[in-house]
Amino acid sequence: MEITFTPWRLDYIKSNKREEGCIFCKAFEEQPSFDNLVVFKGQFSAILLNRFPYNNGHLLVVPKTHSDSLFSLPEEEKLELSKLLCFSEAALRKIYEPQGINVGMNLGEAAGAGIVDHIHFHILPRWKGDTNFVTVTGNLRVIPEALRDTYEKVKNFFKENPPSF
pLDDT tens digit string along 113-137?
888 899 999 999 999 877 655 555 5
What's the confidence (pLDDT) of residue 82? Answer: 95
| Among 29, 57, 33, 27, residue whose Cα is nearest residue 130 | 57
* CATH number of the structural domain 7-13+22-160: 3.30.428.10
> Which residues does the chain have with pLDDT short of 50?
none
45-49 and 121-126: which strand pairing?
Answer: unpaired
* Alpha-carbon span 108 to 15, nearest angstrom: 21
Tens of pLDDT along 139-161? 666 777 889 999 999 999 999 99
DSSP E strands: which ranges in 4-158? 38-41, 45-49, 59-63, 100-104, 121-126
- Which strand (E) or helix (H) includes residue 92? helix 75-96
Out of 58, 66, 118, 120, the active site residue is 120
What's the confidence (pLDDT) of residue 130? Answer: 76
* Alpha-carbon span 32 to 132, nearest angstrom: 34
What's the confidence (pLDDT) of residue 38? Answer: 96
Q: What is the pTM of this model?
A: 0.81
65 SS3 class: coil
Question: Is residue 118 annotated as part of the catalytic site, yes or no?
Answer: no
Residue 103's contacts (CB-CB under 8 Å, 6 or more residues apart) are 85, 89, 121, 122, 123
Write the burial class of residue 85 (CB in 10 Å: 0-12 exposed, 13-18 middle, 19+ buried): middle
31 touches 58 (CB < 8 A): no
Residue type, 164: S
